Amino acid sequence: MKEKVRIFLQEQEVNARIAEIAKKISDDYAGKEVHLICVLKGSVFFMCELAKRITVPVTMDFMSVTSYGNDTKSSGVVKIVKDLDEPLDGKDVLVVEDIIDSGRTLSYLLNILEKRNPKSLRLCTLLDKPERRVTDVAVDYTCFNIPDEFVVGYGLDYAQKYRNLPFIGIVEFVEE
């Protein structure tokens, strides 16, 4: 099987929505500093674009948590690959995720982070697939709710490919 990518959300549409969400975050955190936690690797593109548009002071850290491997579905087994470099005590934390699917990974991650005593803990995602949810996760900022399709681009990958696409595309598998 060979894969091909069909455009689902154009680059301009994604950028416009990120700007809207950044304004809402800036308003919600007015007078505060927000500490962004990027969930690697997929969220890097989104977090950079989001951070550039947030008008309050921003600090950032990176964490790598996986449950996919090279498959198109979450395995349900969560593994921390890289932990944070700085403590969260007393910080207003915003976890930045590329996509929320089953919710297992984010539920696990948020439980870990909550125990690190942040002043506040919120969640922002580029894409959300609420119909795939098996674990309840409260999402504070969502750019797009999407159908149950396997998507790539803007940091999202299939077997480490397609992250660099400037749009969100749907992977379609075709016979060779």
* Host H or E run for residue 91: none
C-beta of residue 50 within 8 angstroms of C-beta of residue 19 = no
Catalytic residue among 92, 101, 128, 157: 101
Whole-angstrom distance, CA of residue 46 vs CA of residue 172: 23
How buried is residue 25: exposed, middle or buried, by Cβ count under 10 Å (0-12/13-18/19+)?
A: buried
DSSP H stretches of helix in the chain: 11-28, 44-53, 104-114
Whole-angstrom distance, CA of residue 93 vs CA of residue 39: 13
* Tokens coding 151: 């998507």
Reply yes or no on whether 101 is catalytic: yes
- Catalytic residue ranges: 101
